[in-house]
């Protein structure tokens, strides 16, 4: 058990007890919902405060400094069955100052945002850098970055979730619970998370960047209990956290894509039908209760985007983070098999079907921002080109290590009081170039399993061996879905798995999976990231049976 | 500013309660001072420091509640904060599980939860400790990545029914991963203290370095069921889920009563009073334990007392919300901060000596639930896995993925060693038979 987070012990962290690390939620203070619509400091004030911090840092001996004045707003609505459990609105406001002095990073943060306090905090950051410089061996080398002057960026949302009355959100979640109950759920919990990061970045390079970033995540768990048998089964929502406003919860027919014949599943693109999914979830949880327990062995897997996204995240997104590759995360998240030496050998990462790009641009994605948290304009770049590893994910102080001149623009801090560092951009599998729908893809599979939704996930610290579960599993026999299966998990090796990729559906099937909780760093920080893909086939993957008996 | 004394904190809280016009009012004032330094590749990577102090006021009208916060404490700001909480409460919907506030409580005393030596840590102290850790590795031609984080804080509570609480806490965590330059060996060590007076980063780094050097040249052996010695880092963690942490987090009475826990009973009800584990397993919590002193009150003001969760393999207690305790007439026990597993006197080395054939596991990692019905978890060994034969370590072995339930594991106990502090708990190394490894990993 972790006692590090005193805030969970103080009674301030009611929501945090449920979700210890929701970005912008951990450490935030409860506020009135109306507060979420009140403006923060105006840009001129923020510029004045930032200049006070930058000037103090320079006077104290910093050769570089940046300041992030952050106002992180959130609202979470939790319900179960017919009742509201909690409505929590939160605000976290403060400033973090990062400096380089004597070739060494220093960082300090405060929630007292005044000129005098920021100047003092800048001095603390410089003092920390100097204390550490005495034992420093590799001085920081920053890739050059031109200042952008005074610029701004906003997530292009249609409807700000904080403008939607709380009652409307509660009504939707209670209707979701009712839809599940009507379809056989014994219990149903549903929740809605909304995030707004109002971030102001300024650096001694001459950038003053004001950004307004929005995210939303509706989700639920439907549970069916058979008390006589002493068994229970769950099915989670097939929604994705998105970089969208409340418009995500207005379903549009054009955003729905039918799952394989015989499953009733629906894939959701830029909008989500929570009532439809809740009804299906309850039915599927009930079906799971009587589903056949899988026979372990080799199967061709057909993985849908809401499932495949997490596999991409763990087995491609993480091993290509350059800080992991170099050993900077060895003491926590781990290192990577995909070292520069490994890359030089030209061993195929995947089959020719596998092209994977990184970006911080995709509309609706969690990664989309105008500039990253060290003032670099965002972009798209290729990581794996037709199976061949071509590049990594990197920021300003890493570019020189791989002989590059510029950052990729994927630096992020989850709060004003956390230091920014390299985080995963959106990492997405490109759709197949030939027309191919899901039913056509399944037609070619003689013995396989179709898996939808994110389930259990685990991977080793160098990203070789992984194991994934899912939300629902269907047997495929001779080109057709035949019945539901249970107790399914697959174990594979990253390179074998991606080299077994035999086909990827076309762009019609492409959609985003997302996570609010990508964890990395010490102190640990979370980051929100999306992964796009179309349904894909992987041949002869090892499937295990996870059923056990306890006393 | 961040560490207020009991008098300073309660003086502010008295004013807050005095301004209240609600049916009930409670206020929590808390603050922390925190600092950290991080290293990788035998060099400093990042460092940081944060101070944060804030007041939260919750006002109640009947079953309605509202909370407001501030981080300045002059009279005008405090008054505004209370008014704001009351405005929010008046507009709130009724909370169906609302419980009236607690009255005055008797709390245990746990003065050892705060140590001046930890509260006084400076950037120079952190640099000195981390420098010693890095120097050790440089001298051994090994590569290290480490993290030192220290925190001092206080929590003060008061409510309109006379409840009053105050406590100060300190905590420091250090962990280090040491690797051989060719990446074929890796070792790990971690420790945490309330009082850092005995903290020696270099000494702990030597343990990780020893694991790194001796794990070079690992051989692959077949996955399957093995007798294992799980060191404390394989049982609890403050940076990942853990097998014992997962077990203790599953002692919620409501989930069990609702039929969706491993503690649910077939046909209804829960399994309190049933023997679910080996009779040598006893787990309790005690906020006054000198080795792991903790808060003596929970976030909602309930006292934290010595509580036995598992006694000689029998489920003795489950924790609960106040609402569920009242509704179902069960003891009103908050979830504990940390836990203590009773053990014997043997060290890990003693356990190895007593093992004919088995595997020593330094650490388990990336632990995730597979099936909540059976508490089946998966994860991998990491940073030093060794084959034991005839009472001695024979050779390092390649890492495994496991699929195992702590419930099954605690029925397959061969021996229990001497508990040590880790991640705010006291945990012994465990020798377990038939631990299930399901595949090999190439990771080092």
List pLDDT tens digits, range A227-262: 999 999 999 999 999 999 999 999 999 999 999 999
Residue A13 pLDDT greater than 50, yes or no: no
Residue A224 is predicted with a pLDDT of 98
Given the DSSP bridges, would you call strands B186-193 and B164-179 parallel, antiparallel or unpaired?
A: antiparallel
Q: For residue A474, what is the enclosing H or E element?
A: strand A472-477
Distance of alpha carbon B127 from alpha carbon B44, whole angstroms: 9
Residue A20 is predicted with a pLDDT of 30
- What share of chain A in percent tops pLDDT 70? 95
Q: What are phi and psi of A323, to 5 degrees?
A: -65, -35
Residue B84 is predicted with a pLDDT of 87
B222–A contact, CB cutoff 8 A: no
For residue A172, give how far its alpha carbon lies from the nearest alpha carbon of chain B (Å).
Answer: 16
Kindly give the residue spans of alpha helices, DSSP state H, lying in A37-114. Answer: 43-59
Residue A8 pLDDT greater than 50, yes or no: no
Owner of token pair 């990462």: A349
Residue A16 is predicted with a pLDDT of 27
A30–B43 CB contact, under 8 Å: no
Q: How confident is the model at residue A22 (pLDDT cuts 50, 70, 90)?
A: very low
Residue A27 pLDDT greater than 90, yes or no: no
Distance of alpha carbon A109 from alpha carbon A120, whole angstroms: 10
Distance of alpha carbon B246 from alpha carbon B253, whole angstroms: 15
- Residue A349 covered by a domain: yes
Q: How many domains is chain A partitioned into structurally?
A: 2
Given the DSSP bridges, would you call strands B283-285 and A356-359 parallel, antiparallel or unpaired?
A: unpaired
A274–B contact, CB cutoff 8 A: no
The residue of chain B with its CA nearest to that of A467 is B378
On average, the pLDDT of chain A sits at: 93
Q: Which residues lie closer than 8 Å to A524 by C-beta, 6 or more apart?
A: A21, A332, B239
The residue of chain A with its CA nearest to that of B278 is A551
**CA nearest neighbour of B238 among A14, A20, A458, A12:** A20
Kindly list the residues from chain A whose CB atom is less than 8 angstroms away from the CB atom of residue B248.
1
Which of A128, A189, A423 has the highest number of chain B CBs within 10 A, making it the mutation to test binding with B? Answer: A128
Residue A24 is predicted with a pLDDT of 38
Same-domain pairing of A336 and A209: no
Kindly list the residues from chain A whose CB atom is less than 8 angstroms away from the CB atom of residue B405.
548, 550
Q: Which of B50, B122, B380 sits opposite A109 (nearest CB)?
A: B50
3-class secondary-structure state, position A534: coil
Residue A185 pLDDT greater than 50, yes or no: yes
3-class secondary-structure state, position A37: helix
Q: Helix B6-19 to helix B75-91 angle, to the nearest 10 degrees? A: 50
B262–A550 CB contact, under 8 Å: yes
Residue A10 is predicted with a pLDDT of 29
**CA nearest neighbour of B416 among B331, B350, B332:** B350
Distances (CA, A) of B368 to B243, B262, B403: 9, 16, 10
Gyration radius of chain B over CA positions: 24
Same-domain pairing of A207 and A315: no
- Residue A463 covered by a domain: yes
Q: Which of residues 450-479 of A touch B (CB under 8 A)?
A: 456-465, 467, 469
A1–B contact, CB cutoff 8 A: yes
**CA nearest neighbour of A544 among A468, A437, A484, A482:** A468
Distance of alpha carbon A411 from alpha carbon B359, whole angstroms: 41
Show the domain range for A388: 297-545
Kindly list the residues from chain B whose CB atom is less than 8 angstroms away from the CB atom of residue A110.
50-51
Q: Which residues lie closer than 8 Å to A438 by C-beta, 6 or more apart?
A: A258, A259, A260, A302, A304, A505, A509, A535
For residue A331, give how far its alpha carbon lies from the nearest alpha carbon of chain B (Å).
Answer: 5
- Residue A91 covered by a domain: yes
Q: How confident is the model at residue A12 (pLDDT cuts 50, 70, 90)?
A: very low
Kindly give the residue spans of alpha helices, DSSP state H, lying in B215-362. Answer: 243-248, 253-257, 322-328, 348-353
The residue of chain A with its CA nearest to that of B38 is A522
Q: What are the residue ranges in chain B where pLDDT is below 50? A: none
Architecture per CATH, B6-211: 2-Layer Sandwich (3.30)
Owner of token pair 């995500």: A248
What is the separation, in whole angstroms, between the first and last Cα of chain B? 45
Give yes or no for a contact between A319 and A338, defined as CB atoms under 8 angstroms apart.
yes
Global pTM value:
0.94
Kindly list the residues from chain B whose CB atom is less than 8 angstroms away from the CB atom of residue A229.
266
Q: How confident is the model at residue A5 (pLDDT cuts 50, 70, 90)?
A: very low
- What share of chain A in percent tops pLDDT 90? 89
Give yes or no for a contact between A412 and A197, defined as CB atoms under 8 angstroms apart.
no
Distance of alpha carbon A344 from alpha carbon A356, whole angstroms: 18
- Residue A343 covered by a domain: yes
Count CB pairs under 8 A between chains A and B: 305
CA B276 to chain centre: 23
Owner of token pair 């056509």: A440
Residue B10 is predicted with a pLDDT of 98
A184–B contact, CB cutoff 8 A: no
* Lowest mean per-residue pLDDT among A320-329, A368-377, A413-422, B87-96: B87-96
Which of A89, A135, A140 has the highest number of chain B CBs within 10 A, making it the mutation to test binding with B? Answer: A135
Q: What are phi and psi of A177, to 5 degrees?
A: -65, -40
A111–B372 CB contact, under 8 Å: no
Give yes or no for a contact between A454 and A526, defined as CB atoms under 8 angstroms apart.
no
Cis peptide before B33 (omega within 30 of 0): no
For residue A235, give how far its alpha carbon lies from the nearest alpha carbon of chain B (Å).
Answer: 12
Same-domain pairing of A328 and A209: no
Map out the domains of chain B as residue ranges. Answer: 6-211, 217-249+273-317+335-444
A11–B contact, CB cutoff 8 A: yes
The Cβ-side half-sphere exposure at B321, using a 13 Å CA radius, reads 14
A182–B contact, CB cutoff 8 A: no
Q: Which of B49, B131, B371 sits opposite A135 (nearest CB)?
A: B131
Q: How confident is the model at residue A14 (pLDDT cuts 50, 70, 90)?
A: very low
Same-domain pairing of A155 and A302: no
Kindly list the residues from chain A whose CB atom is less than 8 angstroms away from the CB atom of residue B177.
330-331
């Amino acid at each position: 058990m972790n006692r590090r987070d005193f805030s969970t012990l103080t009674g301030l962290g009611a929501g945090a007890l449920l979700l210890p690390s929701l970005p912008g939620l951990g450490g935030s203070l409860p506020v009135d919902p109306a507060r979420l619509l009140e403006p923060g400091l105006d840009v001129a004030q923020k510029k004045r405060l930032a200049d006070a911090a930058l000037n103090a840092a320079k006077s104290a001996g910093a050769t570089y400094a940046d300041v992030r004045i952050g106002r992180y707003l959130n609202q979470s609505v939790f319900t179960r069955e017919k009742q509201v459990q909690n409505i929590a609105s939160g605000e976290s406001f403060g400033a973090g100052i990062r400096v380089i002095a004597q070739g060494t990073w220093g960082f300090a943060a405060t929630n007292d945002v005044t000129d005098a306090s920021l100047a003092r905090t800048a001095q603390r950051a410089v003092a920390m850098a100097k204390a550490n410089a005495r034992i420093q061996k590799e001085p920081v080398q920053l890739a050059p970055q031109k200042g952008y002057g005074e610029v701004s960026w906003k997530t292009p949302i249609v409807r700000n979730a904080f403008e939607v009355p709380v009652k409307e959100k509660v009504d939707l979640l209670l209707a979701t619970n009712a839809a599940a109950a009507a379809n056989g759920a014994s219990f149903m919990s549903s929740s809605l998370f909304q995030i707004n990061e109002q971030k102001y970045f300024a650096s001694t390079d001459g950038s003053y960047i004001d950004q307004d970033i929005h995210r939303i995540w509706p989700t639920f768990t439907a549970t069916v209990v058979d008390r006589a048998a002493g068994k229970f089964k769950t099915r989670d929502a097939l929604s994705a956290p998105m970089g969208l406003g409340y418009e995500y919860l207005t379903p549009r027919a054009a955003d729905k894509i039918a799952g394989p014949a015989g499953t009733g599943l629906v894939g959701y693109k830029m909008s989500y039908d929570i009532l439809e999914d809740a009804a299906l979830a309850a039915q599927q949880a009930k079906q799971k209760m009587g589903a056949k327990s899988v026979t372990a062995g080799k199967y061709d897997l057909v993985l849908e985007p809401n499932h495949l996204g997490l596999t991409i995240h763990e087995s491609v997104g993480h091993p290509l983070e350059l800080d992991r590759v170099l050993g900077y995360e060895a003491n926590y998240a781990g290192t990577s098999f995909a070292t520069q030496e490994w890359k030089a050998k030209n061993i195929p990462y995947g089959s020719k079907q596998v092209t994977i790009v990184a970006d911080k641009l995709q509309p609706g994605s969690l990664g989309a921002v105008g500039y990253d948290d060290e003032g670099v304009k965002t972009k798209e770049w290729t990581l794996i080109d037709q199976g061949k590893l071509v590049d990594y994910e990197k920021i300003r102080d890493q570019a020189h290590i791989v002989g590059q001149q510029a950052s990729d623009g994927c630096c992020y801090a989850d709060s004003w009081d956390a230091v920014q560092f390299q985080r995963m951009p959106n990492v997405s599998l490109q759709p197949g170039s030939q027309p191919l729908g899901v039913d056509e893809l399944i037609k070619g599979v003689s013995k396989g399993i179709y898996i939808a939704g994110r389930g259990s996930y685990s991977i080793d610290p160098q990203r070789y061996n992984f194991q994934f579960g899912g939300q629902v599993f269907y047997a495929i026999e001779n080109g057709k879905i035949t019945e539901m299966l249970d107790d399914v998990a697959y174990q594979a090796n990253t390179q074998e798995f991606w080299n077994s990729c035999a086909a990827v559906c076309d762009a019609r099937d492409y959609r985003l999976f997302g996570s609010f909780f990508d964890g990395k760093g010490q102190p640990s920080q979370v980051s929100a990231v999306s992964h796009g893909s179309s349904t894909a086939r992987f041949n002869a993957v090892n499937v295990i049976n996870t059923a056990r008996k306890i006393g | 500013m961040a560490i207020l004394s009991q008098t300073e904190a309660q003086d502010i809280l008295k004013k807050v309660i005095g301004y209240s016009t609600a049916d009930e009012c409670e206020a929590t004032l808390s603050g922390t001072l925190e600092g950290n330094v991080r290293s990788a590749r035998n060099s400093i990577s990042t460092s940081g420091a944060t101070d944060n102090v804030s007041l939260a006021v919750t006002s109640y009208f009947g079953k309605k509640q509202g909370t407001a916060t501030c981080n300045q404490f002059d009279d005008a700001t405090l008054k505004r904060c209370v008014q704001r909480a009351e405005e929010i409460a008046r507009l709130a919907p009724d909370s169906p599980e609302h419980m009236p506030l607690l009255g005055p409580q008797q709390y245990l005393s746990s003065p050892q939860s705060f140590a001046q030596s930890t509260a006084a840590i400076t950037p120079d102290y952190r640099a000195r400790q981390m420098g010693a850790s890095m120097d050790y590795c440089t001298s051994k031609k090994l590569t290290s990545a480490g993290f030192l984080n220290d925190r001092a804080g206080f929590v003060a509570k008061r409510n309109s029914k006379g409840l009053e609480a105050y406590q100060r806490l300190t905590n420091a965590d250090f962990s280090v991963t040491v690797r051989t330059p060719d990446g074929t060996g890796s070792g790990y060590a971690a420790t945490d203290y309330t009082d850092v007076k005995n903290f020696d980063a270099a000494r702990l780094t030597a343990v990780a370095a020893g694991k790194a050097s001796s794990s070079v040249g690992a051989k692959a052996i077949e996955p399957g069921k093995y007798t294992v010695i799980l060191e404390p880092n394989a049982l609890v963690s403050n940076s990942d889920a853990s097998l014992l942490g997962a077990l203790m987090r599953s002692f919620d009475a409501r989930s069990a009563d609702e039929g969706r826990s491993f503690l649910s009973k077939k046909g209804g009800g829960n399994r309190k009073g049933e023997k679910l584990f080996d009779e040598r397993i006893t787990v309790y919590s005690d906020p006054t334990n000198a080795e792991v002193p903790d808060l003596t009150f929970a976030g909602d003001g309930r006292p934290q007392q010595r509580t036995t969760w598992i006694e000689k393999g029998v489920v003795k207690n489950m924790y609960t919300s106040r609402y569920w305790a009242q509704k179902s007439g069960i003891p009103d026990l908050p979830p504990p901060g940390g836990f203590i597993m009773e053990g014997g006197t043997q060290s890990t080395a003693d356990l190895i000596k007593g093992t004919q054939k088995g595997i020593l596991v330094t650490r388990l990692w990336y632990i995730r639930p597979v099936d909540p019905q059976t508490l089946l978890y998966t994860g991998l060994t990491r940073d030093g896995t060794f084959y034991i034969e005839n009472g001695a370590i024979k050779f390092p072995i390649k890492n495994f993925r496991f699929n195992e339930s702590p419930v099954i594991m605690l029925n397959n106990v061969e021996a229990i060693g001497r508990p040590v502090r880790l991640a705010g708990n006291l945990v012994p190394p465990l020798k377990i038979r038939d631990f299930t490894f399901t595949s090999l990993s190439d990771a080092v």
